[in-house]
Amino acid sequence: MTYLDHAATTAVRPEAAEAFARELARPGNPSSLHAAGRDARRRVEESREAVAAALGAQPGEVVFTSGGTEADNLAVKGTFWSRRAADPVRTRVLVSAVEHPAVLDATDWLADHESADVVRLPVDAAGRLDLAALAAELRAHGERTALVSVMWANNEVGTVQPLPEVVAAARAAGVPVHSDAVQAVGHVPVDFAASGLDAMTVSGHKLGAPIGVGALLARRELGLVPVEHGGGQERGVRSGTLSTPAICAFAAAVGAAVAEQEAEAARLAVLRADLVRGVLAAVPGARLSGPEDPAAALPQTAHFTFDGCDADALLFGLDMAGVSASSGSACQAGVQEPSHVLLAMGRDLAQARSAVRLTLGWTSTADDVAAVLAALPGVVERARAARTR
């Protein structure tokens, strides 16, 4: 099997697996006051410090969650409720049109249930946020805006967003900024403090931790309102018993991914360049999505559309050939829908239904690229023939 769907999830790193297995053998609820509980709490707090150090945050800014979706919901809803409580006129939420469903669906819920005014900001043909549109919204309605949420890098086409400019514009208007950095950590430099962000989402299984753990980095001044209620863990904003094994594994994976980021990004960029060059040369009608300049995109993501093909047929054909790929986000319950990212970038419906995302990861090799290039031309040819029957 050739696995090129690392943006959906990647293999657990040895350091994370070792930490997870070690902690599974140790009892103790980190909220308990006895010796076993205090020992578990110590390991959780050491992990918090390690995650903070790796990502440029203070330990008190790290809120452990079950993953990226929970962290996005806490950031979006918790900030909206906090800001609106402080100033009832702050009901506007600004998001890019290419956000992950965890952000878009959370804001849609706020619109439906909390009377939020949600604005989806446009992007250009490469998927890059229209900064002029953001500036115009903030000039006209800055005093009514509760939150801006713009992802660090897009999970489908890999476009890195202009976060410094986003943060500068929002800060001038007195509006906090959240960023989903799930695809960015471990692939591009990420420093929470230096970014000027107020909140940032990280997911463990995208960078080599087990599925089911992540974090929201949030400035304490943000005053998040909890989404769920219970025992008051994690600064009182994220109740629930903490999973010591998952958190220790998460810290190990974050540390390894960040330590290797520069070298790994350079290695993956070479593989990606070979992959892009090979696909465009071997498959007529193939078109690369996202920025033409590789420096403006994630080094591990290559997203294509194929004229005259349906994504379902392409993915099935690749799977039959032993290649695991996807058409975009894996977080929509297996439902194949036209890519909202491509539609926002100006592609038509047929193109949005013909997308394949090939993403590299820490286990990827040149053999994986060669396997895809060997299989893809035949898969595309069969998919086109099937569509014309």
Q: What residues act catalytically?
A: 331
- Looking from the CA of 240 toward its CB, the CA atoms found within 13 Å total 14
Name the token pair of 224: 């998040």
**In 3D, which of 181, 187, 184, 211 has the Cα closest to residue 67?**
211
331 within 8 A of 325, measured Cβ to Cβ? no
Q: What is the crossing angle of helices 311-320 and 366-388, to 10°?
A: 130
Can you name the residues that pair with 324 across neighbouring β-strands?
Answer: 3
Question: What radius of gyration do the chain's Cα atoms show?
Answer: 21
Q: What are phi and psi of 72, to 5 degrees?
A: -65, -45
**In 3D, which of 337, 345, 300 has the Cα closest to residue 183?**
300
User: What whole-number distance in Å separates Cα of residue 269 and Cα of residue 263?
Assistant: 10
226 within 8 A of 218, measured Cβ to Cβ? no
Q: How far apart are the first and last CA of the chain?
A: 30
Q: Kindly list the strands in the beta sheet with 355-359, ordered across the sheet, starting from the edge strand earlier in the chain.
A: 286-288, 301-306, 355-359
Q: Report how far apart, in Å, the C-alpha atoms of 316 and of each of 237, 326, 387 are.
A: 42, 10, 14
Maximum Cα–Cα distance across the chain: 69
Cα 124 to the chain's mean position, in Å? Answer: 20
Q: 322: left (phi > 0), else alpha (psi -120 to 50), else beta?
A: left
Q: What are phi and psi of 306, to 5 degrees?
A: -130, 115
224 secondary structure, DSSP code: P
